[in-house]
Amino acid sequence: MSEIVEQGGDIIDIGAYSTRSGAADVDAAEELARLRQAVTIVRRVAPQVITSVDTFRASVARAAVEELGIDIINDVSGGSLDGDMFATVAALKVPYILMHMRGTPATMQSLTQYQDVTAEVVAHLATRIAQLRDMGAGDIISDPGFGFSKTLEQNYEMLAGLEQFHTLGVPLLVGVSRKSMIYKLLGATPHEALNGTTVVNTLALAAGAHILRVHDVREAVEACKIVGIAAGSSNKTD
């Protein structure tokens, strides 16, 4: 944890429920128990760092904020898996990362039918942002959901059209770190996908991404510095 901060990471994202395809189910009580352990470690090692909780459950999000002092809610389902999430976010008044995904982690890769993936994802997020605003939610961050209910080709189509997400009027988060869209394209493994990840992160930054969700902090921070100097802007990593 301290290494993340030392290398320049601004946010630590803490999750206790894997959303990869085929991952085992974890009930809410177990998810929260795991989070308590993880947050205790993070607070001890990096007490001043901003923290986000990666959960699609409103009850877990509420407990994480009210009991554990988490700063941001990161919801890979964009409110689709728990009908109470938007009301919870609005009540808690904390920043909310709204990601696009269809179905569940177990079914999402069977739900990749789009006429125009970028336009449809932008439209979906715009509708959800409007709903959140109507309910009183404040700080919202959009996440296109690379790798979630998109084919490899659709991920790169979204990357090419990433600037369209700025029409949403909220900060843009991109999370592509070591994902299959990179290592499958390169005929590599996740372990061998760092260079490809850095290339995609750089393209995302050049298109105006504000936040990168990464595994390799130092390399992402270096990309942010170089692109920031070239573009005269700054970006953050978590």
Token couple for 15:
């999750």
**Residues counted in the chain:** 238
Is 213 in the active site?
yes
Given the residues 57, 128, 178, 179, the one annotated as active site: 179
Amino acid at the residue 55:
T
Is 179 in the active site?
yes
Residue 46, SS3 per DSSP:
coil
Q: Residues of 93-116 as b/e, b for ≥16 C-beta within 10 angstroms? A: ebbbbbbbbbbebeebbeebebee
Given the residues 102, 213, 225, 236, the one annotated as active site: 213
The three-point CA angle 207-213-217 to 5° equals: 105
Residue 59's Cβ-side half-sphere holds a number of Cα atoms within 13 Å equal to: 7
Element housing 72 (H / E): strand 72-75
Taking the mean position of all CA atoms in its chain, how far away is CA 187?
A: 25
From residue 131, give the alpha-carbon distance in Å to each of 46, 85, 125, 227: 35, 12, 10, 34
Dist. CA 52–CA 17, nearest whole Å? 14
Q: Which positions are annotated as active-site residues? A: 179, 213
